[in-house]
Structure formats: structure tokens, C-alpha cells
């Protein structure tokens, strides 16, 4: 290996460490769930996107085992050569119906869906108008497009309108937003976004990874929650959070748009199809949540209870109702130390600092699951209260 190259990598790594930004990975020795084992000790898990409690669930493993026997492990092919199974088409139909759209297209992840979308549907003549807090995968997807990018202040509708005015000279303007912002847990002002899109003849593209399966009366997502079904032109989302937590992603839109993506979206065309096991398990999950709202109900009961109890204990909790609950502490080392102290109490949460979140807004992000019991929630609330007092946060 070239020594100059190695010296540069070494100094970059050292600089990450010096800034206190080095990410350590805890090694989990059990399957995912409300309780996990790390270093031989059990912890209550409050930092996964396992919103509906499906990760690690027996029924999903059974559906996966069955699919392995019937469809095998993998297809050794991209979709258009010999990688399309009947279950891929069935799942696409099921996702489209669940989301309230004409058609859906599967990707290996939502990151992949975002990377495959913008470069395919835009040209140098267009403008992408994007919320400053949008997820990294949307940002990376937009970077591959030749369209001009205009960034508007987080959820600031005046700024969005100003950017729409600037973009009027362009062929098309596309407003790009997360449905729920992953570090804040706040919900996009989707109704206002759609109204502005109508006013300026713009398209709306939403990444709903933190809402699919959970937000809205029947868990369809932010479009259902905001009462704007049929007004969002493209929704991208993940199969790797509420819907079982493995991997996979999709885009929904009208049939013609999805037909076009199948012809032109490079990482759909030139990458292997979704593994049969995942395809079959997601089919099971979507079928289940289409008929059965009990995980959804449990998740929201748990979320409301946890939010209310933390606020009662003296923590400042945002108004938004979502199972992502950021506890803003400001100082990055305080967030890190508080997460460490909670870990010692058997509560697994993670502290986030700059550049993942804005400077001086370091936080601990709690994520609630339908699988948490009342006892789990109370244990976490007690630990937060004890450590919060000790660290003079409350
Ligand atoms: C808003 C958002 N979009 C996309 C992704 C990526 O999803 P996937 O894991 O399916 O690539 C994430 C994951 O963290 C996310 O939070």
C-alpha cells in the first residue's frame, strides 16, 4: 500500500478522534428487540427504529424460513435479466396499495431509492428545493442530479416560497423533504408544502422512512397524517425500520413514473434484486399491518406515555408527537456522558453531537417501540430522572 496514502488516512482518523467524533460500535450478542445483550449484560433498547416491534419477532423469522425453502437465498441477477420473482411483483402491488399509489418499485434500501431517483427524473434545466435538515441519502441522491439545488431553512415556509420564486425560471421545480426529520422527530409541514407546490406548479418528493407504518390514523405515513393523500408526487421509504428492520426500500408514484424508473434508474437496473427472504417477510408485514392496527395503537400509547412522564420529570420535550424523542442538552460531552451513565443503568440510548445535529444542539435521541412494556418505560423514565438530576439537567 502506498505509504503517503496511508499517512493521510491515519491523520484523518486521528482528526476524527481528536474532535471527539469517532463512532464506537457496541457489539450486540442477541437478536434485535426491546431487550438486547451487550458484553454479556442485558439492556433495554431505546435507540432502534423498531417502531412496531417487528424486528426479531418469531412470526417474521418463520415467514423468512418458509421463503428460503420456496424461493432460495438469492437470484444472482438484476431485475431485468432474470431477477424478478412473482413475489417481487406481488410486493410492489401490495406496497402501492398500502401507500395509496398506482405503482411501486423496490430498491435495496431507501438510501438506494434516493440515489436512484433524482438523477433519473431531473436534468440541468430543473431545480431541487430542499429542506436544510433533509437526510444524508436525499442529499447524496440530489448530488448525482445535474439540477440546481436551492436549500431552504428547516420547515420555513417563507424561505421555501422565496426559493420557489427564484426557481421559476427553471423547467420544473421539485420540493424535497423528509416526512419526519430523523434527528428532531418533527413532522414536515406537508399541507403547506403541497399548497405552495400547487401555487408554483412544483412537484413534491418526500422521504417517509420514519413514518411508513406508523404515522397517520392507519399508519400510511405523513401524507395520511397531513391529509394530503394524492398530493405528494413521489414517496421514497425504507423497509428497514418499522416494517421489520432488515433492509430494502421503495418509491411509489403513478404507473408511468414508476415505468420510467424501471427503464432509467441506474441502481435499479444495474444492481441485484431484493433477496427473496426480505421480499416475502415484508409481504407478510404489510399484509399484517393492513388488517391489524394493534402494534400501531401500542406504539402511540407508549409514545404518549413516555413523552408525558419525561415532561413531568422536568425534561424539555418538543411538542411534536412522534416516537423519536430528542432530549436536547446542548453540550456534546454532556450528551455523551449522559448516554454513558444511562448505559450503566441498563438503558441503551445514544448521544448525538455536531455534525450529525446542529452545533450546540447535542442531544440524546430516544426511540419508542410498540414492544416496550409499561415496566420498560418506567425503568427508563426512572433512570433518566436519576441521571438527569445527578447531571443537573433537570
Ligand atoms: C430519513 C431517512 N431516509 C433514508 C434512510 C436510509 O434508509 P435505509 O436504511 O433503507 O437505506 C434513513 C435511515 O437512517 C433515514 O432516516
| CA pair distance 210, 179, nearest whole angstrom | 7
| CA pair distance 362, 359, nearest whole angstrom | 7
* The pLDDT of residue 202 is above 90: yes
- In this prediction, residue 300 carries a pLDDT of 98
Give the full edge-to-edge strand order of the sheet including 127-131: 103-107, 249-253, 234-238, 203-207, 173-178, 127-131, 148-152
Q: What is the pLDDT of residues 127-139, one digit of tens each?
A: 999 999 999 999 9
Strands, E, within the chain: which ranges? 35-38, 41-45, 103-107, 127-131, 148-152, 173-178, 203-207, 234-238, 249-253, 324-330, 347-348, 350-352, 362-367
Q: Of ligand 1's atoms, which has the minimum distance to the CA of residue 249?
A: 10
Q: Whose CA is nearest to atom 16 of ligand 1?
A: 182
* The pLDDT of residue 255 is above 90: yes
Q: Which string of b and e fits 157-182 if b means at least 16 CB within 10 Å?
A: eebbbebbeebeebebbbbbbbbbbb
User: Over pLDDT 90: what percentage of the chain?
Assistant: 92
- Total count of residues recorded for the chain: 394
**Ligand 1 in reach of 111 Cβ (< 6 A):** yes
Based on the residue annotation, tell me whether 210 is a catalytic residue of this protein.
yes
Mean pLDDT, rounded, of the chain: 96
CA of 108 to the centre of ligand 1 (A): 11
Write the CA distances from 58 to 9, 37, 53, 227, integer angstroms: 43, 18, 11, 35
Ligand 1 pocket check: which of 116, 182, 222 to mutate, most ligand atoms within 8 Å of Cβ? 182
Ligand 1 pocket check: which of 111, 114, 115, 249 to mutate, most ligand atoms within 8 Å of Cβ? 111
pTM over 0.95: yes
Q: Of ligand 1's atoms, which has the minimum distance to the CA of residue 178?
A: 1
- In this prediction, residue 102 carries a pLDDT of 98
Domain 19-48+293-390 class in CATH: alpha beta
Please say whether the beta carbons of 353 and 336 come within 8 A.
yes
CA of 389 to the centre of ligand 1 (A): 34
What DSSP character marks residue 168?
G
CA of 247 to the centre of ligand 1 (A): 10
Average confidence (pLDDT) over 199-212: 98
**Ligand 1 in reach of 365 Cβ (< 6 A):** no
Average confidence (pLDDT) over 283-297: 97
CA of 111 to the centre of ligand 1 (A): 6
- Backbone torsions φ then ψ of 244, nearest 5 degrees: 125, -25
- In this prediction, residue 199 carries a pLDDT of 98
- In this prediction, residue 9 carries a pLDDT of 97
Please say whether the beta carbons of 254 and 103 come within 8 A.
yes
* The pLDDT of residue 150 is above 90: yes
Q: Of ligand 1's atoms, which has the minimum distance to the CA of residue 111?
A: 11
Enter the C-alpha cell of residue 115.
Answer: 440515489
Domain ranges of the chain: 19-48+293-390, 58-291
**Ligand 1 in reach of 131 Cβ (< 6 A):** no
Q: What is the pLDDT of residues 73-82, one digit of tens each?
A: 999 999 999 9
**Ligand 1 in reach of 178 Cβ (< 6 A):** yes
CA of 386 to the centre of ligand 1 (A): 33
Q: What is the pLDDT of residues 44-56, one digit of tens each?
A: 999 999 999 999 8
Can you tell me which residue has the cell 440530489? 142
**Ligand 1 in reach of 238 Cβ (< 6 A):** yes
Residue 356: pLDDT band (50, 70, 90) is confident
Assigned CATH for 58-291: 3.40.640.10
**Ligand 1 in reach of 103 Cβ (< 6 A):** no
| CA pair distance 54, 369, nearest whole angstrom | 9
Q: What is the pLDDT of residues 300-349, one digit of tens each?
A: 999 999 999 999 999 988 888 899 999 999 988 899 999 999 999 999 99
Residue 20: pLDDT band (50, 70, 90) is confident
**Ligand 1 in reach of 135 Cβ (< 6 A):** yes
**Ligand 1 in reach of 241 Cβ (< 6 A):** no
Cis peptide before 355 (omega within 30 of 0): yes
* The pLDDT of residue 67 is above 90: yes
* The pLDDT of residue 7 is above 90: yes
Write the CA distances from 103 to 36, 84, 100, 250, integer angstroms: 37, 16, 9, 10
CA of 238 to the centre of ligand 1 (A): 6
Can you tell me which residue has the cell 420540493? 175
Strand partners of residue 96: none
Catalytic site residue from 241, 322, 336, 372: 241
What's the CA angle centered on 113, arms 108 and 119, to 5 degrees?
A: 135
Q: Which string of b and e fits 239-255 if b means at least 16 CB within 10 Å?
A: bbbbbbbbbbbbbbbee
CA of 244 to the centre of ligand 1 (A): 14
Catalytic site residue from 210, 223, 322, 372: 210
Q: What is the pLDDT of residues 83-126, one digit of tens each?
A: 999 999 999 999 999 999 999 999 999 999 999 999 999 999 99
* The pLDDT of residue 31 is above 90: yes
- In this prediction, residue 320 carries a pLDDT of 82
Average confidence (pLDDT) over 175-195: 96
**Ligand 1 in reach of 207 Cβ (< 6 A):** yes
Sign, Cα dihedral of 146, 150, 152, 158: negative
- In this prediction, residue 318 carries a pLDDT of 81
Radius of gyration of the chain (CA): 22
Distance of CA 259 to the CA centre of its chain: 25
| CA pair distance 212, 144, nearest whole angstrom | 25
- In this prediction, residue 317 carries a pLDDT of 85
| CA pair distance 382, 345, nearest whole angstrom | 10
Q: What is the pLDDT of residues 219-248, one digit of tens each?
A: 999 999 999 988 999 999 999 999 999 999
Enter the C-alpha cell of residue 206.
Answer: 418526500
Amino acid at each position: 500500500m502506498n505509504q503517503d496514502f496511508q499517512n493521510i488516512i491515519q491523520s484523518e482518523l486521528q482528526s476524527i478522534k481528536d474532535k471527539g467524533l469517532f463512532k464506537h460500535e457496541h457489539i450486540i450478542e442477541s437478536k434485535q428487540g426491546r431487550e438486547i445483550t451487550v458484553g454479556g449484560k442485558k439492556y433495554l433498547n431505546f435507540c432502534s427504529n423498531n417502531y412496531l416491534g417487528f424486528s426479531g419477532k418469531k412470526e417474521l423469522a418463520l415467514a423468512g424460513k418458509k421463503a428460503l425453502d420456496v424461493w432460495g437465498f438469492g437470484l444472482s441477477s438484476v431485475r431485468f435479466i432474470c431477477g424478478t420473482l412473482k413475489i417481487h411483483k406481488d410486493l410492489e402491488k401490495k406496497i402501492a396499495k398500502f401507500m395509496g399509489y398506482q405503482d411501486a418499485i423496490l430498491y435495496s434500501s431507501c438510501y438506494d431509492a434516493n440515489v436512484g431517483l433524482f438523477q433519473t427524473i431531473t436534468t440541468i434545466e430543473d431545480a431541487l428545493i430542499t429542506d436544510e435538515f433533509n437526510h444524508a441519502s436525499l442529499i447524496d441522491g440530489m448530488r448525482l442530479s445535474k439540477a440546481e439545488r436551492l436549500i431552504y431553512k428547516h420547515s420555513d415556509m417563507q424561505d421555501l416560497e422565496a426559493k420557489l420564486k427564484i426557481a421559476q425560471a427553471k423547467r420544473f421545480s421539485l420540493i424535497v423533504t423528509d416526512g419526519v426529520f430523523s434527528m428532531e422527530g418533527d413532522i414536515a409541514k406537508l399541507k403547506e408544502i403541497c399548497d405552495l407546490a400547487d401555487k408554483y406548479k412544483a412537484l413534491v418528493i418526500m422521504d417517509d422512512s420514519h413514518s411508513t407504518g406508523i404515522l397517520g390514523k392507519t399508519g400510511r405515513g405523513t401524507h395520511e397524517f397531513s391529509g394530503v393523500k394524492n398530493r405528494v408526487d413521489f414517496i421514497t421509504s425504507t423497509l428497514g425500520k418499522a416494517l421489520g428492520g432488515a433492509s430494502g426500500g421503495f418509491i411509489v408514484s403513478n404507473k408511468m413514473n414508476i415505468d420510467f424508473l424501471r427503464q432509467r434508474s441506474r441502481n435499479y437496473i444495474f444492481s441485484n434484486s431484493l433477496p427473496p427472504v426480505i421480499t416475502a417477510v415484508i409481504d407478510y408485514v404489510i399484509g399484517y399491518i393492513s388488517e391489524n392496527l394493534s402494534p400501531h395503537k401500542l406504539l402511540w400509547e407508549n409514545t404518549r406515555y413516555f413523552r408525558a412522564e419525561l415532561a413531568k420529570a422536568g425534561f424539555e420535550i418538543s411538542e411534536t408527537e412522534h416516537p423519536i424523542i430528542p432530549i436536547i442538552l446542548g453540550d456534546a460531552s454532556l450528551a455523551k456522558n449522559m448516554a454513558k451513565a444511562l448505559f450503566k443503568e441498563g438503558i441503551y440510548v445514544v448521544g448525538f453531537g455536531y455534525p450529525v445535529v446542529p452545533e450546540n444542539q447535542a442531544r440524546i435521541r430516544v426511540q419508542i417501540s410498540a414492544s416496550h412494556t409499561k415496566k420498560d418505560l418506567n425503568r427508563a423514565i426512572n433512570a433518566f430522572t436519576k441521571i438527569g438530576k445527578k447531571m443537573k439537567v433537570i
